[in-house]
Chain A
Amino acid sequence: MTVVARFEVRYTQYLDSQGRVVRPVPEFARDPRALVPDYGAMVLMRALDSKAIAMQRTGQMGTYASTLGKEAIDAGVGAVLAKDDVVLPSYRESGILFLRGVSPHRVFLYWGGDERGNVFPESPRDFPFCVPIAMQVPHAVGVAYAMKLRREPRVALAVLGDGATSKGDFYEGLNAAGVWKLPLVALVVNNQYAISMPRSRQSAAGTLAQKGIAAGVACEQLDGNDAIAVRDAVGRALERARSGEGPTLLEALTYRLSDHTTADDASRYRKPEELAEAWKREPIVRLRDWLAANGAWSKEQEEALHRECAERVQAAVKAYLETPQPGPAQMFRHLYARLPDAYAWQRDEACAPEPVPERHVEHHAG
C-alpha cells in the first residue's frame, strides 16, 4: 500500500504547571511586564466568577456557568483580538467579553435572566452567548464570509467546548471555512467535560485539534492554562486568517475546575482526587510565579490588584442590582424591526397593568 497523506498535530506550551519556562518565550513575552495586564484580567475574572456563584447561591442571580480554570484562555484571546474582529462565544466566555470592554454587570444580567445582558455597547458586532452547542460555528462562517467578501482585514473567532466537536454544526462550519479559506479561528476550550461526559468518551480522536485535518484546516493543540501559549497560538492563528491564509482550529487544553453550572454537581461523576490534581495545573498561580520570578510582580502589586478587583466586582454588583426590572414590553420590543400589527393586541394585553385582585369577602352562614 502507498501512503497518500501524512499528518501531524503540534502542541504549544511555554510555561509548565510550576511556571517554569520550557522553551524560549515568544517575542511579545520577552519583557514579562507585557503579561501583567493579562494577569490582572485573569484575577478579575476569577473574582467576578466567585461573586456570580455567591449571588446565585443567595438567590440574587439565576443558573450560572462558571469560568473557573479557563482564565488564561479568555485573557489570551482578549489580549490579541483586534477591536473590529468578531467573537462568537459559547456561554462560558464572559472573560473574553470583559476584555472586549463589555461591562461585567451585563454578564450578571444575562445569568440573572435579562436579555439586556446580551447588549454589548462596547463591542457591538460580537455575537451573544450561544447556549445551543456548536451552532455559532456556522454563524462564524457567515461572518467571516462577509468580511472576506468586503476585503476587510478582520477575523471571526468562534469559541466552543470539547463536546461541541461531536456536533454536525462544528464539522459543517469547519469544512466550509476550509473550502473558502475564510478568516476564521475556531477555538475549542477542551475542559475535559461536557457536563458529565469526560473527553475520553466524547471522541476516539487522539486530539480534538486533529479534527481540522479532515477539513483541510490548519490545527494546533496548546496548553490552555499557559497564558503565554494561548496568546501566542491565538495570535498566530489570527494573523494567518488576517493575511488570507485561511482558518485555524485550535484546541486549548484546560480543566473545568467548577461544576458545569450552578445547577450541576460534578461530584456525581468525577473523583475529588482528579479535581485536586487539576488544581495543581491551574493558570493563575503559574503566571504569577513566572512574573514574580522575572521581577515583574511584587507582593504589593498583588495586594493592590486584589483591592482593585474587589472594587470592580462591587461596582458590577451595584450596576446589576440597580438595573430596573424589565417590563413585559421587552418581550415584544425588538422581536421584529417593527412589531407587526397582528401582534399589537398581544403586546397591549401583556403590558396592561395587572388587575387589582377583588377583595375577597367571606360570607358566613347565619
Chain B
Amino acid sequence: MSSITLVEAVNLALARAMEDDPRVVILGEDVGANGGVFRATVGLLGRFGAERVVDTPLAEGLIAGMAIGMAAEGLRPVAEFQFAGFAYAALDQVLNHAGRLRHRTQGRLACPMVMRTPCGAGIRAPEHHSESPEAIFAHVPGIRVVYPSSPRRAYGLLLAAIADPDPVVFLEPSRLYRLFKEEVADDGEPLPLDTAFLLRPGTDLTLVAWGAMTHEALAAANELAAEDVFAEVIDLATLKPLDLDTILGSVAKTRRCVVVSEAPRTCSFASEVSANVSEQGLMSLLAPVERVTAWDTVTPMSRLESRYMPDKRRIVAAAHKVMQYH
C-alpha cells in the first residue's frame, strides 16, 4: 500500500484494468508518449504498447464514436477527453448512441465503455477547462455518471466503471488531482457503483456533495461542529443512478438537507437531489432543502473562479439557514 494522489490512483486503476483484462484499451488525445495532459495515463504506453494506448487524432466526436464501435465489437475502451469543455463535442455520440445502443438493439449490442474527463474549477486553468458538466450527462438515459472525490474512491470506482457492462461517464475533479494523498491498496478491488458514501456522521443536517465539493462540505462540517451543529456529509460518488435511499435515510435522522454543486444552479444535479428529497422526504423535513451552487453564469476565467464555486462560507451560511427551522 502506498500513499498516492487522485490522479495517481486513476493511473493505478487504469494499469490494473489493462493488466487484468486484455480487452481494455485506452484512447484519447496525448494519452501515449505524453501520458495525458494531467499525466493520468503516464507509463501505460511503455507497459502495454501503442495498440492498446491509442493516441487519437484531435477529434472528440471521433473518440466517443470510436469507443462505441470498439465496445460493441467486444473491447473495453476507456476514452479520455482532455478537458470537460471539450467533451461536449462527444455529447452527440453519448446521447444518440452510447446510451441507446443496448436498448435499440434489444440487448444484441452493448457499450461497455468509460469516458473519463477532468472537470471542475479551482486550478486556474484556461477558458473552457473548468466546467462541471455532470447534470448534462446525468440527463442521458442508459448511462452512468460517476464523480469520485478521493484517491481511494477514484481507484475503486474507476475499476468498477471499466468492468461495468454499460457506458460510464467518469468525471475527475482536477482540483483534487494533486490536492492530497491517501493510502490506496492496488488490490484490483472495485468499489460499488450506484452507491453513495457516508463521509462523516452527524445528527443535525445532511450535506450532500460530490467531487471537489465534498471537501468544501467536510470543511463546513468541521466549522459547524465548533458551534455544536453536527452535519452528516454524504458523497454521492455515482450521480446516475442516484442512491436516494442513503440520502433519505440520512434526512430521516437529521431532518434538514443542504445540497452542494459547483455547476450552474438551473437544472443542476443539486436541483435533482433537492426535488427528490422534497418529494419523498417531506415528512422528515423541518426546513426546505437548500441548494448551494455556482451561479447561473458562464464559468468565469481563473481570476473569478473562487467567487464562482461554492465554498465553506456559503455552505455554512446555508446550514445556518436550515438550522433556523425546529
Proximity string of chain B (42-76) to chain A, C-beta cutoff 8 Å, 1 when within and 0 when not: 00000000011010110101101111111111110
**What's the nearest-Cβ distance from chain A to residue B50, in Å?**
10
- Verify A176–B57 contact, CB threshold 8 A: yes
With both beta carbons as reference points, the residue of chain B lying nearest to A129 in the complex is identified as: B104
**Count of A-B contacts judged by CB separation below 8 Å:** 136
Proximity string of chain A (118-160) to chain B, C-beta cutoff 8 Å, 1 when within and 0 when not: 1110001101100010010111111111110100000010000
- Verify B70–A145 contact, CB threshold 8 A: yes
Proximity string of chain B (283-297) to chain A, C-beta cutoff 8 Å, 1 when within and 0 when not: 000000000000000
| Number of chain A residues whose Cβ lies closer than 8 Å to a Cβ of chain B | 44
- Verify A335–B59 contact, CB threshold 8 A: no
A144 to B69: give the CA distance in the assembly, Å.
8
A327 to B68: give the CA distance in the assembly, Å.
28
Proximity string of chain A (339-358) to chain B, C-beta cutoff 8 Å, 1 when within and 0 when not: 01111000000000000000
Q: Does A83 contact B (CB under 8 A)?
A: no
**What's the nearest-Cβ distance from chain B to residue A148, in Å?**
8
**What's the nearest-Cβ distance from chain A to residue B48, in Å?**
12
Tell which of B52, B69, B103 touches A115, judged by Cβ atoms closer than 8 Å: B103
Proximity string of chain B (99-115) to chain A, C-beta cutoff 8 Å, 1 when within and 0 when not: 00111111111100000
With both beta carbons as reference points, the residue of chain B lying nearest to A138 in the complex is identified as: B65
With both beta carbons as reference points, the residue of chain B lying nearest to A131 in the complex is identified as: B96
Tell which of B73, B103, B110, B166 touches A142, judged by Cβ atoms closer than 8 Å: B73
- Verify B242–A342 contact, CB threshold 8 A: yes
Q: Does A37 contact B (CB under 8 A)?
A: no
**What's the nearest-Cβ distance from chain A to residue B88, in Å?**
13
Proximity string of chain B (183-212) to chain A, C-beta cutoff 8 Å, 1 when within and 0 when not: 000000000001000000000000000000
A127 to B68: give the CA distance in the assembly, Å.
11
- Verify B67–A142 contact, CB threshold 8 A: yes
| Given A119-B105, A132-B96, A337-B102, A342-B70 contact (CB < 8 Å) | no
A334 to B57: give the CA distance in the assembly, Å.
33
Tell which of A146, A175, A337 touches B166, judged by Cβ atoms closer than 8 Å: A337
Q: Does A86 contact B (CB under 8 A)?
A: yes
- Verify B96–A142 contact, CB threshold 8 A: no
A124 to B304: give the CA distance in the assembly, Å.
53
- Verify B166–A342 contact, CB threshold 8 A: no
| Given A86-B73, A138-B93, A337-B165, A169-B106 contact (CB < 8 Å) | no
A173 to B66: give the CA distance in the assembly, Å.
8
Interface size class of B (residues with CB under 8 A): 35 or more
Proximity string of chain A (294-315) to chain B, C-beta cutoff 8 Å, 1 when within and 0 when not: 0000000000000000000000
- Verify B194–A149 contact, CB threshold 8 A: no
Q: Does B263 contact A (CB under 8 A)?
A: no
A127 to B103: give the CA distance in the assembly, Å.
13
A-side contacts of B61, CB under 8 Å: 138, 168-169, 172
**What's the nearest-Cβ distance from chain B to residue A116, in Å?**
6
A179 to B73: give the CA distance in the assembly, Å.
20
| Given A176-B66, A334-B106, A342-B241, A146-B73 contact (CB < 8 Å) | yes
A116 to B106: give the CA distance in the assembly, Å.
6
- Verify B65–A127 contact, CB threshold 8 A: no
- Verify A138–B241 contact, CB threshold 8 A: no
A60 to B70: give the CA distance in the assembly, Å.
37
- Verify A172–B62 contact, CB threshold 8 A: yes
Proximity string of chain A (168-190) to chain B, C-beta cutoff 8 Å, 1 when within and 0 when not: 11001101100100000000000
Within 8 A of A (CB), among B231-266: 241-244
- Verify B69–A145 contact, CB threshold 8 A: yes
A-side contacts of B151, CB under 8 Å: none
A137 to B52: give the CA distance in the assembly, Å.
21
- Verify B51–A335 contact, CB threshold 8 A: no
Chain A to chain B contacts (Cβ below 8 Å), 16 pairs: A86-B73, A115-B103, A124-B108, A128-B104, A138-B69, A140-B69, A142-B65, A142-B73, A145-B66, A147-B73, A172-B61, A176-B59, A176-B66, A336-B165, A341-B194, A342-B243
Interface of B with A (CB < 8 Å)? Answer: 25, 51-52, 54, 56-57, 59, 61-62, 64-75, 77, 92-93, 96-97, 101-110, 141-142, 165-166, 194, 241-244
Known pairs A118-B106, A135-B93, A179-B57 / 9 extra A-B pairs, C-beta < 8 Å: A115-B103, A118-B105, A127-B109, A139-B97, A142-B75, A145-B69, A146-B75, A169-B61, A334-B103
